[in-house]
Each structure stands twice: as structure tokens, then as C-alpha cells.
Amino acid sequence: MLARSDAKGAIPPALVEPGGGFLTSAAVLHLQRAVGNAAVASLLGRQSRRPLTVQRYEIEGPFDINDPVHETITQEALKQAGMIGPKAKYSDTEAWEYARGAMWNDDPQGELFDKNKKRTDDYSSGLQWYRHFSGFEKRAGKGEQFGPDAELLARSHFGDLQFLHGMAADMEKASVTRAHMMMWAEFTYKVAIGEIPVTTRLGAVTVPGFVELFPKQKQLTVNDLFQVAEVGDATKRAAGSLMHMIQDSYASGHTERTAEAGGHKGGVVSFHSYVHQSHKKHDAYDKLPSGKGSDVGKLNRLPGATDAVAKSAQILKLIKDKKPWEDAELYLKLEVFNLEPMTRPASAGKDFKEDSDKTPEPALELTEPLPPVNDAIVPNTGLRVG
């Protein structure tokens, strides 16, 4: 990919190959984490004259790096929900804004796309995103905490917004993480069905806990948050962001769940924290299986992926029918973000720690009940959802 300067200044030499204007493999790796293989392929194809080999099987990646896992899950969920045709692709017009929304969680500052008044798939060089991500990664590794006053990119990957990826800050209780996830789910769902207009300022959003979590963005509108200007659809992007969070919660490197019959995943035992994980181990668990076959075929063999498709599709059906938030809330609490009776606070996870990390896993503890957001009653049981 031809390297170039961005508005912030010159490209750091570490991002480009010696003697050339191409991104290093490490830079491509981080770009693939954010937008997936297909997007990076498009970007490299336009800007490079070298033979196109997009690290698809050469660089391992987490649930959304090398292979277009997020894109394919979203694509298949949209099909199951009857929202796109059976042969449609996520890059097609009818699906693209959902896919763009699924990228938002990784790119909440919109640095992977150039501003374009006519189209929303105009990828940037990605260098500004990479520089910022790498800087935040180093700072987090040294113990810096990223909270409401930090940039959204730092918070979403290494700070208090890790719940956007089904993850959490170190030692955060699972019930706290789930409460944050339910808050984001309520916001994005209500935007998706039009209950929260896209022109609403974030400071006026009435979802409990939302304004406190986004104090620096109070004057932005929903459209601004999802980077919609002359073109784009914030309702679909909000739905895509919700899909991303659901999908990541079924990725092994993100969330520990119980194992169920047929290879399915059950309730949440622990949300992982990315900061102290071995990125190599995280990556190895979450790429599409190697070998022949389509991405959809491989997806069916990826642990948790079929669950992610099914759960995403069910929420999309509710969005399509504009069902009230209470219906979606009940489903998410009981079937998607349901916690086991015993959970443990967030950590790297025993299967994802660095080999040198001898820190013991946090002990299992009785799950604290999540205070009900409303008085939803489980049908035919009389049980109140908590």
C-alpha cells in the first residue's frame, strides 16, 4: 500500500518497509483488526502495484482481523432476518451500512475512512488510525487507564469501553460489564428502530448511564457519533454496532462461556481484558479455519460463530419489525448476555495470558444480580428479569 502523510504530520518510519512506501505486515495486521480482510484488500488493491497478497492466511488475527468474520456474520444474520437477499454480500448497497456500523466499534473516530460526500466506503490510508492505536496500546501496557476523558479509540480497545467488544477492564465484575453492554444495546436498538432520532444530541439521550459515559460527546448528535454527514444511515450503523458487540461476546478470546451440546456456547463466565493478553494466543483462537471452502462454510466451523449469527439475526428481526426495546431487552438478558450463577472478574483469561504471566485467575464468585432496567416479566414463569 502506498504510504502517505496525513493531516497530523509525517508517517512514522516504523509503519513502512525500509526503502519503500508500503506498510509493514504489523501495520496491515492492525488495519485488518479494524476493518477486516476484505476492506484491506480493497484498500491495498487501489494503492499498490505489487502483487496483491493481503496477509489473509499469513497474518493471524482475532475474531475480526484476517478473514472477514464480522462482515460475514453480519451478512448471514441479515439473510436469516430476511433483510437482504440470499445471494447478497455485505459489500452490496443493501447491506453495506450495517457492515460499516459493525466496523464502528473498532474505529469510533472514523479514521479508517476519508470524508466523501457521495459514498461511505472510501477507505483512508489507515495510518492515522494505526498511529493512534499503537500509541494507546503502548500506554495501556505501561498501566495507563483510559476513561471518559480519553479518546474513544483508546477507551474502546484498552479502557472503559471494552464492553463494545464483549470485553472488560481488568478485574471488572461481570455484572458491571453486562450492565454497560445492556446500556449500549438499549441506545443502539432505540436508534435502529427510530425511537431515538438521529438528530438527537448525545447529552439528551435518556438511556440510564449513557450521558455519564460520554461526557465529552454531549454536543454531538447520533449522526455525528456514527460519522454520518451527507451520506450514510445512522440507524443501520447503530444496528451494526450492536451486532459487533453480540458477535464479539461469542469469540473465545473476548468472553469465556460455558460449553453446550452441539458445539454451542452458553452463559457468560467471564469477560476478558485485552491489555495483558498474549495477542498471538488471542489471535490463534479466532480466525476462520484453514483449508478449502467459502468463508460462510468456514464460519460454520468457527467456535461460537453460528451462535453469533443466530443471536444477531434474532435481534435484527426485532429491529425489522420495530418491536419495542423491552422485547429486545428480554431476549438479550436471557439468551445473549446471560451470566452464569458463578462468574469471575475480568482478566486476560487462562488460555490467553502471556507465558511469563503467573498471575492466578480471579476466583469464581456469586454473580451480583443486575438491577432490572425495567420490570420485564419472563412469560409464563412470573420471574422478574434481573
**Residue 124 pLDDT:** 81
**Residue 380 pLDDT:** 39
Residue given cell 498474549 in the structure block: 278
pLDDT single digits (tens) 213-271: 999 999 999 999 999 998 999 999 999 999 999 999 999 999 999 999 999 999 999 99
**Residue 163 pLDDT:** 97
Between the alpha carbon of residue 348 and those of residues 111, 244, 279, 310, 384, the distances in Å are 28, 20, 10, 27, 33
**Residue 32 pLDDT:** 55
Left (φ > 0), alpha (ψ -120 to 50) or beta: where does 322 sit? left
Q: From CA 114, how far away is CA 125, in angstroms rounded?
A: 8
**Residue 70 pLDDT:** 81
**Residue 161 pLDDT:** 96
**Residue 38 pLDDT:** 52
pLDDT single digits (tens) 292-320: 878 788 778 788 999 999 999 999 999 99
Q: From CA 213, how far away is CA 195, in angstroms rounded?
A: 20
pTM, 2 dp: 0.81
**Residue 68 pLDDT:** 74
Alpha helices in 144-254 (DSSP H): 152-158, 174-192, 210-213, 222-225, 234-248
Q: From CA 61, how far away is CA 251, in angstroms rounded?
A: 12
User: 288: which DSSP letter?
Assistant: P
Q: pLDDT 10s digit of each residue in the chain, 386 long?
A: 223 333 333 444 455 444 444 455 556 555 555 555 555 555 554 444 333 222 222 222 233 334 677 888 999 999 999 999 999 999 999 999 999 999 999 999 999 888 888 898 887 888 888 899 999 999 998 999 999 999 999 999 999 999 999 999 999 999 999 999 999 999 999 999 999 999 999 999 999 999 999 999 999 999 999 999 989 999 999 999 999 999 999 999 999 999 999 999 999 999 999 888 988 888 766 666 677 878 788 778 788 999 999 999 999 999 999 999 999 999 999 999 999 999 999 999 999 999 999 999 999 999 987 555 444 434 433 333 44
CA 17 to chain centre: 29
> Contact at 8 Å (CB) between 312 and 243?
yes
User: 336: which DSSP letter?
Assistant: I
**Residue 31 pLDDT:** 58
**Residue 66 pLDDT:** 43
Q: Is 137 exposed, middle or buried (0-12, 13-18, 19+ CB in 10 A)?
A: middle
> Contact at 8 Å (CB) between 35 and 3?
no
